[in-house]
Structure 1
Amino acid sequence: MATPHNEAEPGDYAETVLMPGDPLRAKYIAETFLDDARQVNGVRNCLGYTGTYKGVPVSTQASGMGIPSLSIYTHELASVYGVKNIIRVGSCGGVGKDVKLRDIILGEGSTTDSAVIENTFQPGIHYAPIADFELLDTAYHKAKELGISTKVGDVYAADRFYNDNVDMERLRDYGVLGIEMESAGLYLLGKQLGFRALSILTVSDMIFGEGSTTSEERERSFNDMITLALETAIAVK
């Protein structure tokens, strides 16, 4: 049952997985939020854990950075381990006009320059990857219940982290709220493989203006985002 990237056994993953990019954030989620958490994957140090949250089984599995890396882990979770819901819990750069440092963004859709998306379809088709509506709707209303402020809209999934050719001002003008590197791939595979997908993101630095968080803060302090994802996870059926 193990794959080239995952040593977990059948049944080791819950039906819902929280997916940070950072393996240390996966470890932090397991140790801080889950009861009876146990490590189920350590291949390449891309850590995965399963435990319970308020009595409901939940897993967390790191994806690494970028659509190609995330696509490996999501594909195997859905097609080999039977995972039904994957909620990305990641960081992003703030782009939107009203976005501030540490804001939480629910990614309704994901604009991208990724060749992975482009090469999935015949020339001339520009697929628009979008979140699962039930997960999005649940997260939005859970945030209201918890008093967690969120912004809902488009995020930009970039193929390259260092790229001076992207017109950020135009993306902002067209309503993009944040920039990261994974959501479009997650949403594409969700539709292809039949699992529900959502990105919940915390703004870790500002593209326009000043403000940033440290690597330790990104690993260990985005608790509102994690709580919202967990509450969403146990609310969906």
Structure 2
Amino acid sequence: MDPLKNKQNSSFSTPVCVHNPHLDSLKDDILYHFSLGTETHDLPAMFGDVKFVCVGGSPWRMKAFIEYIAAELEMEDPKSEYPNICAGTDRYAMYKVGPVLSVSHGMGIPSIAIMLHELIKLLYHAQCKDVTIIRIGTSGGIGLEPGTVVVTKQSVDATFQPKFEQVILGKTVVRNTDLDQNLAEELLQCSKELDQFETVIGNTMCTLDFYEGQARLDGAFCSYSEKDKQDYLIKAREAGVCNIEMESSVFSAMCKLSGLRAAVVCVTLLDRLKGDQLMSSHEVLNSFQKRPQILVGCFIKKQLMAKAVTS
């Protein structure tokens, strides 16, 4: 399976790329953690019209998103039930309405990486083209007012370097974490048009851990001082880091490899320079979590309206 041959079958559309010649020898490609497969399911019929994929950590949040987008696009009754396409497994949840697919990815790099391998193959087998994928989620901000939405310019690691490292066959492989800058600007413009909440573009730091890896003082173990924490977070801020989460690096790397137009949109739930624990009420946090959905919903609606006009 030649990725270069597969990259541009049409000057007007971009297919999803896979980089694995071994897939050609599989009679049935089983997407185990989705409970789907090429022999058991008609993937082109089920997913061939997908143009937008939104992924987020929580199954509940991704179901809420599909209900929200269905109402925004006026495609289905917002009170109708949306079945979990991955009901045969408890690993991930997947929902669909029209050209929009909503998928949960769990927490952390390993969990989202497993999901992305199978999602990219699903889109490939379904013969999807011109797909935009956006991670929507929550994060800790650095020097930002809680509730601020961050559109990621570039994902960086815990040393502030724009890279994702993975050990493959005992060797460290380094992959690029660039995201689509035009897409980031389009999302920022949508936020300006909405004029409902503050949105910024900045670097996002992706860590391997929620506690020590993010310089928290409230984990089960901590070998550094408040001053050490502050010094580190200030260095991160000086490196252009606006927020911290645990999935953006591998998300950026894998989407770039597969030719997917990608963005990361996360709301900040607190300013890490002022504390480590969430002190806001459940109601306030819930309203914050809806902001990436609102922004991405606006973007999708705008894109579909523009397409309808041109066609």
Instruction: Name the TM tier (shorter chain).
Output: 0.7 to 0.9
Query: Which residue number corresponds to residue 196 of structure 1?
Result: 261
Over 3 Å counting, the alpha-carbon distance change for 1:23 and 1:15 in structure 2 is: same
* Aligned pairs (5 A) from 1:42-57: 42=87, 43-52=89-98, 57=99
Query: Which residue number corresponds to residue 60 of structure 2?
Result: 24
Distance 1:79 1:45 in 2: 17
Query: Which residue number corresponds to residue 106 of structure 2?
Result: 64
- 226, 233, 236: which is aligned to 2:300? 233
* Aligned pairs (5 A) from 1:197-216: 197-210=262-275, 212-213=279-280
Instruction: Name the Cα RMSD after superposition.
Output: 2.8
Q: Check whether the contact 1:158–1:180 (CA below 8 A) recurs between aligned residues.
A: yes
Distance 2:287 2:91 in 1: 18
Query: Which residue number corresponds to residue 151 of structure 2?
Result: 106
Distance 1:217 1:196 in 2: 31
- Which of the two has greater strand per residue? 1
- Which of the two has greater helix per residue? 2
Distance 2:285 2:245 in 1: 14
Distance 2:208 2:155 in 1: 12
Task: Give the TM-score taking structure 1 as reference length.
Answer: 0.83
- Length, aligned pairs only: 229
Distance 2:34 2:201 in 1: 33
Query: Which residue number corresponds to residue 234 of structure 2?
Result: 169
Greater relative CO, 1 or 2 (CA 8 Å, sep 6+): 1
Over 3 Å counting, the alpha-carbon distance change for 1:188 and 1:44 in structure 2 is: same
Distance 1:233 1:212 in 2: 33
Query: Which residue number corresponds to residue 222 of structure 1?
Result: 289
Over 3 Å counting, the alpha-carbon distance change for 1:204 and 1:12 in structure 2 is: farther
Task: Give the TM-score taking structure 2 as reference length.
Answer: 0.65
> What amino acid maps onto 1:25 in structure 2?
R
- 118, 142, 147: which is aligned to 1:76? 118
Query: Which residue number corresponds to residue 133 of structure 2?
Result: 86
> What amino acid maps onto 1:28 in structure 2?
A
Query: Which residue number corresponds to residue 119 of structure 1?
Result: 166
> What amino acid maps onto 1:154 in structure 2?
N
Q: Check whether the contact 1:101–1:212 (CA below 8 A) recurs between aligned residues.
A: no
Moved more, 135-144 or 182-191: 135-144
Query: Which residue number corresponds to residue 185 of structure 2?
Result: 137
- SS of 2:35's equivalent in the other structure is coil
Larger Rg: 2
- SS of 1:81's equivalent in the other structure is helix
Q: Check whether the contact 2:191–2:295 (CA below 8 A) recurs between aligned residues.
A: yes
Query: Which residue number corresponds to residue 4 of structure 1?
Result: 32
Distance 1:233 1:120 in 2: 36
Q: Which consecutive residues of structure 1, in runs of 5 or more, have no partner in the other structure? A: none
Cα displacement string for residues 87-133 of structure 1 (whole angstroms, at most 9, x for unaligned residues): 000000011x3x1101000001011149x92237986x965512112
- 1:137: Cα distance to partner? 2.2
- SS of 2:164's equivalent in the other structure is helix
- SS of 1:222's equivalent in the other structure is helix
Task: Provide the identity percentage.
Answer: 23
Over 3 Å counting, the alpha-carbon distance change for 1:94 and 1:232 in structure 2 is: same
Q: Check whether the contact 2:166–2:174 (CA below 8 A) recurs between aligned residues.
A: no
- 1:169: Cα distance to partner? 2.3
